[in-house]
Amino acid sequence: MKIPWWRDAVVYEIYVRSFADASGDGVGDLPGIRGRLPYLADLGVDAIWLTPFYRSPMADGGYDVADYRDVDPLFGTLADFDALVADAHTHGLRVIVDIVPNHSSSEHPWFRAALRGENRDRYVFRDSGDLPPNNWQSTFGGPAWTRTPDGQWYLHLFAPEQPDFNWRDPRVHAEFLDVLRFWLDRGVDGFRIDVAMGLYKAEGLPDAPATDQAFKGESPIWGRPEVHEVYRRWREVLDSYPGERMAIGEVWTDSAEDLARYVRPDELHQSFNFAWLEAPWSATAFRKVIDDTLADMTAPTWVLSNHDVVRHVTRYGEGLPNSTTGLARARAALLAMLALPGSAYLYQGEELGLPEVRDLPAEARQDPIFARSGGTLPGRDGCRVPLPWSGQEQPYGFAPEGTAPWLPQPVEWTALSAERQADDPGSTLSFYRQALRARRGLRGALPDGLTWLESEEDALFFRRGALTCVVNCGVEAVPLPPHDHVVIGSAPVEGHLLPPDTAAWLHTP
């Protein structure tokens, strides 16, 4: 039986500002992406996910949307978007776009009208005297409330420039249903929903417990039951279009069981499985995440990095004396992820083995987290540095020669450019292409589940049909299970031993 494309797709996240700059202003854009579609098709992914490219003052890199139905001139035009979608489909790539329903920009016409005293019910405004209405904190630091000149307070769970919508107002529902149709009519294949567990807040806006800021517990802020009705209505819209349109939610929660509530036949198609991303380099931790996910999720997803977290090459190597260990583990984790049932989401640049950039100068940083914390938190700029495509110096082919990218690129990236790695069979880029080709070759031939095999304590062995995946998270080599041959390894696998920090796929009759 043919399964929907998204059930086992490999999706490549494009942080638009940092992928490719065709205009020469130092910021990535839609024409830049369009010019790199052959690279993505050759890499072997099935779909691309674009971060917000809508009109925005860019207080939070585009996640503060001023117009949900237009392209910001920084990124191009609606005609550029249409051409990108058409070309992507020609290359066999689906297109997923970000939608930001929890909040808008403070420059959105609705919020400008609200500041004039018109239709304030479309946002969360409260009278509260000289003190904020409750103890809620912004995820970017500081109170989640800002006072207006007339004395009322408005809610912003992120930056003050990102006021939260009031989803108890039917006009907000109608607006986003129309926004979905606008982009579906232009040919998009799906939506990634930002802060999907947000939207509704508890009636009366009670104080939050301390753990609430970490998206846990019985929260007055996150994961309110009313949000599920929103996605039921969205699912009706998606199902009314041909071509298996889909939606995936950014849902931060502390259990796979809770995550599964968003993924039901009449709600979202998928939710991001951040437990996999958060797991340490540990066979025990990996197995628990896999078991929990497969027990509760009907459409599992797996992700190692994205535009909001430290790149996993750096996470896996944190505090270790050998500078290459993080990359070795990252390559092994990719093989483990691609062998699991479900779909995999990649983040741009991970196929080049890019590490987090930790030494960005303070004056270059643009993440509001850095500013709102007074520089005590580095923010997310380190994983958003523009990609190195070619050449020996900045901008490394990201932009026309002589252009300064919006975030500076480290000189060490000369050796990591796509051009430098393309013809090197031992490079991370070549490894990703190999792994994705091998996975595509197995599509439709593997069962939905997996079987655990006996292994050493620090190793992880599982089987899906003729494929056996082995991962060694320990410090000593471990014996391999019986097999015909090695299909692919994250590092050379010789004889009958699997080296430390290595994964491999084995063919087993």
Cβ count within 10 A of residue 220: 19
Buried/exposed code over 259-291 (b: 16+ C-beta within 10 A; e: otherwise): bbbbbeeebbbbbbbbbbbebebebebbbebbe
Q: How far apart are CA 314 and CA 329, in angstroms?
A: 10
Cβ count within 10 A of residue 238: 18
H helix or E strand, kind and range, residue 39: helix 37-43
Burial of 29 (0-12, 13-18, 19+ CB in 10 A): buried
**What is the pairing mode between strands 145-147 and 125-126?**
unpaired
| 296 within 8 A of 256, measured Cβ to Cβ | yes
How many contiguous H segments (helices) and E segments (strands) does the chain have?
14, 20
C-alpha gyration radius of the chain: 23
| 507 within 8 A of 465, measured Cβ to Cβ | no
Catalytic site residue from 21, 194, 351, 501? 194
178 belongs to the catalytic site: no
| 289 within 8 A of 279, measured Cβ to Cβ | yes
| 133 within 8 A of 120, measured Cβ to Cβ | no
Tokens representing 333 are: 């984790």
Backbone phi and psi for residue 420, each to the nearest 5 degrees, phi listed first: -65, -35
494 belongs to the catalytic site: no
- DSSP E strands: which ranges in 310-385? 343-347
Number of residues written out for the chain: 509
Q: How far apart are CA 118 and CA 469, in angstroms?
A: 59
Distance separating the N- and C-terminal Cα atoms of the chain: 23
What string of DSSP letters covers 113-162? HHHTTS-GGGB-EE--TTS-SS--B-TTSSBSEEE-TTS-EEE-SS-TTS
| 504 within 8 A of 465, measured Cβ to Cβ | no
Q: Which amino acid is at 281?
A: W
Tokens representing 65 are: 């949307």
Tokens representing 198 are: 């947000």
Minimal CA–CA distance to 141: which of 381, 385, 375, 383? 375
Catalytic site residue from 46, 64, 250, 356? 250
CA angle in degrees (0–180, nearest 5) for 471-476-481: 45
| 451 within 8 A of 463, measured Cβ to Cβ | yes
Beta bridge partners of 452: 462
Catalytic residues: 194, 250
